[in-house]
Amino acid sequence: MSQNAAMITLALSKGRIFDETLPLLKAAGVEVMEDPETSRKLILPTNRPDVRVVLVRATDVPTYVQYGGADVGVAGKDVLLEHGGQGLYQPLDLNIARCRMSVAVRADFDYAAAVKQGSRIRVATKYTTVARQHFADKGVHVDLIKLYGSMELAPLTGLADAIVDLVSTGSTLRANHLVEVEQIMPISSRLIVNQAALKLKRAALRSLIDAFAGAIAKE
C-alpha cells in the first residue's frame, strides 16, 4: 500500500496518457501542479493534499497498481493484456489514447498468400501474448520475435515478415512502406485500481471513479 493511508497515489505514463487524463482529473477537482515534460520530478503534487501523481513507464503502470506502489492508474488495453491484469480492478474504459492493434507487412509481401499456403511467418512485436493468441486463433504458424520498440524496422531489415503493433493514423506505417493487413482489436486506456486500496480507501477512490465516469468522452 502506498505509504500514507489518507493519500491517493495515481500512476500515469508521460505523453498521451498523461495529457488525455488531465481533463478527467480536472473533472474530479484534481490539478497537477507540474509539467512532466519540463520537470525532472517523478512524483508530482496536485492542488489536493490527498492526491499525488507518480510517473512510470506505460508498461510499468499495472505493476505499480498491482503491488500497491500506486492505488490507481491509467493503462492501455495493450499493456493490460500483456500484463495479465492480476490483482487489478478495471472499473472504467476511459476512451482515451485510442488506436488499434494491427498486423502490418512490407507493401511487397503477399501476406494473404503466405497465410493461405500455411507457411511459417516471422512476426516481430512488443505484444507477444496478444500476437500468439491472434495467430493461434487463425491457425497460422508463427515464430515470434520479441522487440521493445521501433517495430516498423523489423520487416524493412529482414528481421521479420510482419509486425504486430499499434496503429492510429497509419502515417508511421506509410512512411516506412508498410501496409496494415489485419486489425486485431481496438485499443483504449482503462482506469485500474488496486483491489486492497479499493477497500481501504473506498470513499476517496469511489469519488474519483465517479468523477472520471461522468467525464468520459462518448465516442
Binding site for ligand ATP (CB under 6 A): 13, 15-17, 58-59, 76, 78-79, 97-99, 149, 166, 168, 187, 189
Q: Which is nearer to ligand ATP, 125 or 189 (CB)?
A: 189
d(CA 40, CA 28): 25
**Which C-beta is closer to ligand ATP: that of 74 or that of 162?**
74
Q: Which is nearer to ligand ATP, 1 or 128 (CB)?
A: 128
Q: How far is the CB of 62 from ligand ATP (least distance, A)?
A: 10
Q: Which is nearer to ligand ATP, 38 or 171 (CB)?
A: 171
- Name the minimum Å distance from CB 16 to ligand ATP: 5
Residues paired with 88 in a beta bridge = 194
HEC assignment per residue over 44-103: EEECCCCEEEEECCHHHHHHHHHCCCCCEEEEEHHHHHHHCCCCEEEEEEEEEEEEEEEE
Q: Which of 182, 149, 178 is nearest to 161 (CA)?
A: 178
At its nearest, how many Å lie between ligand ATP and the CB of residue 198? 23
Residue 175 — left, alpha, or beta (φ > 0 → left; ψ -120 to 50 → alpha)? Answer: alpha
Nearest to 66 by CA among 117, 11, 106: 11
Pairing outcome for strands 142-146 and 72-76: unpaired
Phi and psi for 139 in degrees, rounded to 5?
70, 25
- Specify the residue for cell string 479499493: 198
Are 132 and 140 a contacting pair, CB within 8 Å?
Answer: no
Residue nearest to ligand ATP (CB): 76
Instruction: Provide the minimum distance between the beta carbon of 83 and ligand ATP in the complex, in angstroms, as a whole number.
Output: 11
Taking the complex as a whole, the smallest distance from the CB of residue 178 to ligand ATP amounts, in Å, to: 14
Using the minimum distance from each CB to ligand ATP, give the nearer residue, 93 or 143. Answer: 93
Q: Smallest gap, in angstroms, from Cβ of residue 15 to ligand ATP?
A: 4
Closest CB to ligand ATP among 58 and 115? Answer: 58
